[in-house]
Structure 1
Amino acid sequence: MKKTTLTALTAAILLAFSAGAMAETMSKSDYKASKNSISSEYKAAKEKCDSLSGNANDVCEAEAKGNENVAKAELEAKYKPSEKTRYKALMAKAEAAYKVGKERCDDKSGNAKDVCVKEAKAAFVHAKADAKVQMKSLQADEKASNTSAEANMKAKEKTSDAQHDAAKDKRSADFAVAKEKCETYSGAAKDRCINQAKAQFGM
């Protein structure tokens, strides 16, 4: 996945699960009805996959299962709004995209497949890191709003630390992708490629 696409996707996901978006709640009966609807939609989607074969079937089933998991997590976040349920919803989206991405890589072979898998993993690491930063930030802001100026400063420090850790994880994942692409070279050309990747991602 291209970095610009990844950034746009991550931003869209984070916006969708902002504190305001999850402020609404639902009744228990609506919750149960929605849960049953999700199960029915999953069964229908899975049945459509039965007409496919090979990797197309694998991708279809991964998409169906991923959509079910995301819908369930989003439902929980709406029914019981909290940093934890919002985080789980973000993670469900990230995991669903990762599993589908990996399945799609099975259509490739050799280094192209290896790069594809690394890119899917990198996209997952990006989404996971951003979800964690959002959760930490919300937790810190909530705590700081009820405490002193000193606590506010500590909350900002925690958010900054989370952002730093997220950036580090993203760089490592992106470096793994770049390094895998270097496998198409050999000798001095491969060494140059790896050195350039190290310099680019600070490894």
Structure 2
Amino acid sequence: MTHTSLQITLVALALAGAGLVHAGPSAEAKAAYTHAKDRAKADYKVARARCDLITGNPKDICVAEAKAAQVRTVEEATALYKNTLKAYTASRMKIASAHYDLDKVKCAGLTGNPKDVCVSQAKATLVAAQADAKADKRAIEARADAREDKREAEFKVAMEKCDAFAGAAKDGCVAAAKTQFAK
């Protein structure tokens, strides 16, 4: 799953309104999670073996790329498995850190001002990715709060409408409103 697909998954989660509720992972989700972790470990070993054929900074970059790919795979699988807003945000933060580590290794091969610029750019990219993850989390939480506030207001209106009835009709109206709004 690419960075973009993780963000799409996060947006889909937000639109579905399931970002703040966790029903627990299914057996299929656990199997997929375990498979993804095993695949990440195997892919890392293969990539790392290819890196051993290289020397110097290119080897360091190769190893860092392999590690970043492993972190991405494991973190995306973890976020999907846990299926919570907190897990998606933590996943994005860890992936950003892994890419920052990769960028620093790439910068190590440079000298002078180009190295300084490279390190500054790497840090700026990390800060931007982390800020985006935090902002997305806050936006999703705000939408969920707004949705709950709207639902509560609609429930109050429904209950107010029930006041126009008496006896069994009112009881039926109240029961219907409570069922409709899961109260």
TM interval, shorter chain, is 0.5 to 0.7
Residue matched to 1:18: 11
Q: Show structure 2 runs of 5+ residues with no match.
A: 19-24, 152-183
Q: How does 1:32-181 map to 2 (within 5 A)?
A: 32-147=34-149
State the one-letter code of the partner of 1:97.
H
Q: Map Cα deviations across residues 88-112 of structure 1 (whole Å, 9 max, x no partner).
A: 2212331122111111111210111
> How many pairs align?
143
Shift of 1:130: 0.6
Larger-gyration structure (1/2): 2
Distance in structure 2 (CA, Å) of the matches to 1:100 and 1:44: 18
Shift of 1:13: 5.6
Residue matched to 2:30: 28
Distance in structure 2 (CA, Å) of the matches to 1:28 and 1:110: 48
Q: State the superposition RMSD in angstroms.
A: 2.9
Q: Show structure 1 runs of 5+ residues with no match.
A: 1-8, 150-203
TM-score, scaled to structure 2: 0.68
Distance in structure 1 (CA, Å) of the matches to 2:73 and 2:105: 20
- Structure 1 residues 31, 12: CA separation in 2 closer, same or farther (over 3 Å shift)? closer
State the one-letter code of the partner of 1:99.
D
Shift of 1:147: 2.5
Which aligned segments of 4 or more residues in structure 1 are displaced greater than 6 angstroms? 9-12, 21-25
**What fraction of aligned residue pairs are identical, expressed as a percent?**
34
